Amino acid sequence: MSKKIRKWLLDISKSVEAIQSFLSEDPDFEHYKNNLMLRRAVERELEILGEAVNRILKQEPNYPITDARRIVNLRNHIIHKYDNVSDEIIWGIIHKNLPVLKSEIEAILQKEEEE
């Protein structure tokens, strides 16, 4: 694994951890929906995460990250269609997709350490 890809994987991991920490004290959708600063913080981390995946795909187009293209598309949507971001969709992604991504990235990094 190249140093660049390792760095981007670590960026993804840090963004996932940041999002989870933002919601650790009050993981309630209404609180999320009504807290502009929290929503913007989560969206920013999703942008970083999506950009890191995008950079990985540019270097290795078939890199084994589930839904990698959808992750990049989410990043693009948040950035370019910022006025049309669905809090409900983001909330679903946070709770359904981020744990899967976190497990995948941890497994990839763990495998690299063992080699």
Kindly list the catalytic residues: 75, 80
Structure tokens at 95: 């709770």
Determine if residue 67 is left, alpha or beta; phi over 0 gives left, psi from -120 to 50 gives alpha, anything else beta. left
Residue 112 CA, distance from chain mean position:
21
